[in-house]
């Protein structure tokens, strides 16, 4: 994308040559192209018209553009019949590759559509994600969500253009899914880290982690659980949204996490449920890979004090190996740093672990969104990973730390 755009169209037009070549010079009825800056569409149009001028084809296919509903200046211009387009002051879409409010070659895209008697359509983010999932699930093609807009618009295209019935329509898939995997991972249950053993794979397989739907195409902010839930009710919820019955240990872990979220005064949304399920699925390592520390570390309570431009101070009460209460306190640069150090101080050398990684993920919107904390601990050359969920980042961090520590 660093090249001069005038010459970039010269390169992009060869995609039109390749398409016609692969059709053995039979011209498809229409070609559907996602629109970002509009340069790719301009290239297709230039290539088709040059092949026509050279006599290789007798006609040019309709060129149909697709944009995300939250970034659709070209679609608006086509629908309104204007010569130019109005740049958008604000854009909102998960389709990052086409999230363009003022397309550099928007006028060329509009010209390509009108010269070929084509059209332009907007699709929602949900439609694009559904199309991305359908392509992967049914065709084995993992494309970025921006590319999937070409497939997502097909139903509306067919409705608006009955003359295309029974004709060849080419959808251009412009980018690989690994180019923008972060967008999908925010919508889906993230794939687990699998430890290098047959037992670990078998454990996850037996929990049906590879059989369930990993992506749910409903409003992720939808409130799913507002009160304490029993096992049978949770089974029904999981069947409704993920299409599978998880094992009893997974459900038991989920109920514990759900109760913890509810005690914080927050209802569980679909996004929260995905995170809770994600953590529950990978909650334990197989026993034969565990060292024999058997800490049985539990946090009975904790307190944190902090203030503007001040270090944080934390106090904890824990039990270790079922013994009496141990207390610890520490000061840190922030509340999480302070609480983890206080845990170490309370347990002494028993949890003298090094924190190798600390990651925080937030799937939902809002100040009370559930966060997922992943912690990787190191001890004497061994590594253990733990994950925790909570609308309280401190509690999520404690949960992740405990799971990692207790797996050694």
Same domain, yes or no: 163 and 18:
yes
Element (H, E) at 316: strand 310-319
Same domain, yes or no: 246 and 338:
no
Residue pair 401/291 in contact by the 8 Å Cβ criterion = no
Kindly report the CATH number assigned to the domain that includes residue 293: 3.30.160.270
Same domain, yes or no: 326 and 360:
yes
Given 170, 185, 200, the domain boundary residue is 185
Kindly report the CATH number assigned to the domain that includes residue 22: 3.40.50.1100
Same domain, yes or no: 60 and 146:
yes
Look up residue 51 and give its two tokens. Answer: 């092949």
Same domain, yes or no: 31 and 143:
yes
pLDDT of residue 62: 98
Please tell me which residue, 85 or 219, carries the higher pLDDT value: 85
pLDDT of residue 200: 76
Per-residue pLDDT of 162-189, as tens digits, reads 999 999 999 999 899 998 888 877 777 7
Given pLDDT bands bounded at 50, 70 and 90, which one contains residue 17? Answer: very high
Q: Report, as an integer, the average pLDDT of 216-229.
A: 83
Q: Report, as an integer, the average pLDDT of 65-71.
A: 97
Q: Report, as an integer, the average pLDDT of 88-93.
A: 94
pLDDT of residue 291: 47
Please check the confidence at residue 256 and state whether its pLDDT lies above 60: yes
DSSP string, 47-65: HHHHHHHTTS-SS--EEEE
Same domain, yes or no: 366 and 382:
yes
How many CA atoms are closer than 13 Å to the CA of 385, on its beta-carbon side?
Answer: 14
Question: Which range, of 99-113, 152-166, 367-381, averages the lowest pLDDT?
Answer: 367-381
- Tell me the CA distances in angstroms from 287 to 195, 204, 290, 366, one per residue in order: 12, 14, 5, 38
Q: Report, as an integer, the average pLDDT of 234-249.
A: 88
Strands 223-225, 382-390: pairing is: unpaired
pLDDT of residue 407: 80
Per-residue pLDDT of 372-403, as tens digits, reads 899 998 888 888 888 899 999 999 999 999 88
pLDDT of residue 153: 97
Please check the confidence at residue 274 and state whether its pLDDT lies above 70: yes
Given 147, 165, 185, the domain boundary residue is 185
pLDDT of residue 79: 96
Q: Report, as an integer, the average pLDDT of 218-225.
A: 81
The structural domain count of the chain equals 3
pLDDT of residue 132: 94
Same domain, yes or no: 276 and 292:
no
pLDDT of residue 288: 44
Same domain, yes or no: 181 and 198:
no
d(CA 174, CA 162): 26
Per-residue pLDDT of 288-307, as tens digits, reads 444 455 678 889 999 999 99
Per-residue pLDDT of 303-338, as tens digits, reads 999 999 999 999 999 998 877 788 999 999 999 999
Same domain, yes or no: 142 and 181:
yes
- Mean residue pLDDT of the chain comes to 88
Domain of residue 224 covers 190-281
Please check the confidence at residue 2 and state whether its pLDDT lies above 50: yes
Same domain, yes or no: 92 and 139:
yes
Element (H, E) at 375: strand 371-379
Given 235, 263, 281, the domain boundary residue is 281
Same domain, yes or no: 79 and 126:
yes
Question: Which range, of 39-48, 77-86, 199-208, 250-259, averages the lowest pLDDT?
Answer: 199-208
Q: Report, as an integer, the average pLDDT of 54-77.
A: 97
3-state helix, strand, coil in the chain (%, to 5): 45, 20, 35
Residue pair 109/42 in contact by the 8 Å Cβ criterion = yes
Same domain, yes or no: 90 and 197:
no
d(CA 39, CA 135): 25
pLDDT of residue 181: 84
pLDDT of residue 202: 85
């Amino acid at each position: 994308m660093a090249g001069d755009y005038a010459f970039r169209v010269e390169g992009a037009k060869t995609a039109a040559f390749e398409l016609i070549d692969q059709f053995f010079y039979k011209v498809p009825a229409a070609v559907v192209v996602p629109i970002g800056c509009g340069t790719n569409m301009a290239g297709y149009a230039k290539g088709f018209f040059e092949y026509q001028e050279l006599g290789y084809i007798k006609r040019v296919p309709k060129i149909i553009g697709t944009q995300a509903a939250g970034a659709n200046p070209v679609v608006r211009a086509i629908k309104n019949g204007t010569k130019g387009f109005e740049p958008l002051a604000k854009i909102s879409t998960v389709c990052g590759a086409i999230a363009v409010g003022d397309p550099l070659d928007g006028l060329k895209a509009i010209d390509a559509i009108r010269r070929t008697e084509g059209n332009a359509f907007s699709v929602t983010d949900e439609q694009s994600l559904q199309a991305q999932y359908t392509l992967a699930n049914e065709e084995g093609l993992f494309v970025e969500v921006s590319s999937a807009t070409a497939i997502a618009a097909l139903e509306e295209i067919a409705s608006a253009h009955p003359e295309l019935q029974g004709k060849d329509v080419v959808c251009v898939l412009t980018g690989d899914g690994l180019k923008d995997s972060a967008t999908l991972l925010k919508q889906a249950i993230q794939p687990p880290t699998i430890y290098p053993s047959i037992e670990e794979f078998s454990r996850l397989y037996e929990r049906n982690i590879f059989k369930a739907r990993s992506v749910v195409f409903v409003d992720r902010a939808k409130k799913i659980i507002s009160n304490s839930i029993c096992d049978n009710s949770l089974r029904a919820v999981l069947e409704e949204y993920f299409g599978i019955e998880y094992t009893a240990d997974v459900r038991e872990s989920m109920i514990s996490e759900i109760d913890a979220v509810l005690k914080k005064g927050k209802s569980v949304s679909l996004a929260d449920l995905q995170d809770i399920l994600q953590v529950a699925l990978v909650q334990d390592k197989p026993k034969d890979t565990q060292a024999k520390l058997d800490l049985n570390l539990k946090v009975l309570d904790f307190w944190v004090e902090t203030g503007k431009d001040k270090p944080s101070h934390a106090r904890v009460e824990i039990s270790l190996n079922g013994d009496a209460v141990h207390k610890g306190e520490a000061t840190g640069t922030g509340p999480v740093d302070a609480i983890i150090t206080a845990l170490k101080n309370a347990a002494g050398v028993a949890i003298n672990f090094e924190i190798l990684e600390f990651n925080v993920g937030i799937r939902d919107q809002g100040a009370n969104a559930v966060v997922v904390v992943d912690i990787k601990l190191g001890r004497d050359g061994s590594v253990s990973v733990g994950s925790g969920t909570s609308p309280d980042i401190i509690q999520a961090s404690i949960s992740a730390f405990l799971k990692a520590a207790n797996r050694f």
